[in-house]
Structures are given as C-alpha cells and as structure tokens.
Homo-oligomer: A and B are copies of this chain.
C-alpha cells in the first residue's frame, strides 16, 4: 500500500509552490488575453488555475498589478535573452535594418517558441493601453540593457534625423510592434486569415515597414 498518491513524484514544498505559481501565471495570462485584464477577478484566476480557494493569487502574488508584473517579467526575461544574443551577433552597426531586426525578431521568435496558442501579445497590448497598468510594463521594459543598446545604435545610424523625429519614430515602432503582434495573435485565435503564414514572416513584414517608416523623408513645416 502506498503511503499517499504523492510518492510517484516527490514534489518538494518549494517545487509545489513554484508549480502553482506557474499555473496561476498561465491561467491569468490566458484569461486576461481573452476577456480583458480588468474584467477578470483574482477569484476567476485562482479557479482557472485549479486552486480551490480564492486566496491563491493574493498569497503568491499580492494585488492584481503584481500579478500583471509577474506575467510581464516572465516573458520579457525570455525576450531579453534572445535580444541580447541578436545584438551581440550584429554585423554592420551602421545597418538600420539590422537594428530594427533586433527590435522585432526577439519578440516574434519568443512567441513562435511558446507555440500556439499564445496570449502574451494581446495581454501586452492591453496593458500598454490601460492607463493604470501601463506604467508597470513601461517600468519593466526600461530595465532592458539590450533595448537601450539598440536605441543608441539606431541613433548613430540616423544622426541626420532631428531628435524629436527620432523619438517620435521610436514611439511609432514600439506601438506598431506591440499592436501588430497582438493583432496577429487575435487573428490566430479567431481562425481569421492572417497576411503572413508564420511569426517569422510577420516579423519580416514588420521590419520592412519599420525600415521604410524610419528612413522616410521629414517634412520640415506646414
């Protein structure tokens, strides 16, 4: 007779805690993407994560903002890893397209790695748009050394652009990246046709567009 049905695997206390943390994270990510971050209560997250009680989220993460931050951290860390590699491998530091590729591909590659269905893109787009959640993601993003590296690389390539326009177009690139991957993710979830067959191809399309956007001539006045 077995002592308990737990003997087959030996989940240490820390392991079990980590496991439920992961369960909560993925459940929350899915629910947030599907129904909206604010429309989902901590209770629903706990239940969807298979936790019988409603305290699970509060116990492991605290407030919902903390949960959002944890989800963001998890993905951003993996994206940062890919991005660091790509930045390190960059060939010609005067090539605008190379820097833009470093901006786009780590994200799409991460989504491709996670495998369908993904929820992070829709989650991220929502968080960036919500006035109360946005600062969380902005804060977590700013702490990326590879991103500031890319920024300075782009600045060097585009030194003839006015500072304001550079800042403006960097904003545009961020918005485009965040919301276009969310759009594609939505289409995949809805079985709606997508203009590109894979995340890789979608990234190509984005890079094409961003290169054009960044190199576009600047109208002085009017």
Q: Which of A119-137 contact B (CB under 8 A)?
A: 122, 125-126, 129-132
A196 adjacent to B168 (CB under 8 Å): yes
A189 shortest CB reach to chain B, Å: 9
| B-binding segment of A21-29, A79-87, A208-216 | A208-216
Question: For the complex, is A167 an interface residue (Cβ under 8 Å from B)?
Answer: yes
A126 adjacent to B130 (CB under 8 Å): yes
B132 adjacent to A209 (CB under 8 Å): no
Contacts of A209 on B, CB cut-off 8 Å? 168-169, 172, 213, 216
Known: A36-B38, A36-B131, A207-B219. 12 other contacts (CB 8 A): A39-B132, A125-B129, A126-B130, A129-B179, A165-B195, A171-B183, A171-B195, A172-B176, A172-B209, A175-B175, A208-B217, A209-B216
Question: For the complex, is A8 an interface residue (Cβ under 8 Å from B)?
Answer: no
Q: How far is the CA of A211 from the CA of B210 in the complex (A)?
A: 11
B131 adjacent to A34 (CB under 8 Å): yes
Most chain B Cβ neighbours within 10 Å, of A34, A131, A222: A131
Question: For the complex, is A182 an interface residue (Cβ under 8 Å from B)?
Answer: yes
Q: How far is the CA of A218 from the CA of B212 in the complex (A)?
A: 10
Q: How far is the CA of A33 from the CA of B208 in the complex (A)?
A: 33
Known: A209-B213, A212-B217. A164 touches B34 (CB 8 A): no
B214 adjacent to A165 (CB under 8 Å): no
A172 shortest CB reach to chain B, Å: 6
